[in-house]
Amino acid sequence: MPIRIVQDPPEARRIAERALTRSQRPDLFGLTIAPPAPIGALGLYNLTLEDLLARRFEKATLTGWRYVQLADGATLGKIADVTSDDGPVLAAIAEGALARTVADVGSGAEALLATATGDYEPRILRLPQVHMEALWLHGPKDRFFGLQGQHADLRDEDFITMAVARAEKRRDSRPTELPSGG
């Protein structure tokens, strides 16, 4: 399975590297160790609730880039999300297990699809309406690998089924419009 990496904008990378460096904390002796460079940029794609319900993943739109920084052997790392609506802007920076999860899920996905044919582009699919994210290998047969908490073990159809069920629940819980009275 060839992995096809899409080039991130240089300005977005500079913003992420600056943010990740600034968030570096001194160690016990007051020294700040140079942080490792981000291991790569993954496109951030958002999908509307309506498109999720219809399973139209091809309608997902690129909204920014996620940069993952992880030192060798570290269990925790950092994530910087840079959005790109009107030019690159730092949207979020987080420290914790998500960076390791993204790296581990990516390695597992690569191993799982080692014999697959066709090119796959690694992406992050964000479904903010249902509070879910996945590593999305976009290719001849899209593959999804859950990234967060209890969803981290969900794969492909299980991930999609859970996301659609949450979307249906969300849609059904929306208040209905009341007729305007006069």
Residue spans of the domains in the chain: they are: 10-172
Q: Which residue has the higher pLDDT, 87 or 173?
A: 173
Contact 139, 120 (CB under 8 A): yes
CA dist., res. 143 & res. 135, Å (int): 8
CA dist., res. 58 & res. 171, Å (int): 21
The token duo for 156 is: 């492909």
pLDDT at 130 over 70: yes
Backbone dihedral angles phi then psi of residue 171, each to the nearest 5 degrees: -60, -45
Contact 95, 76 (CB under 8 A): yes
CA dist., res. 116 & res. 40, Å (int): 23
Residue 176 has a pLDDT of 65
Mean pLDDT for the stretch of residues 15-39: 64
Residue 37 has a pLDDT of 57
Task: Name 140's bridge partners.
Answer: none
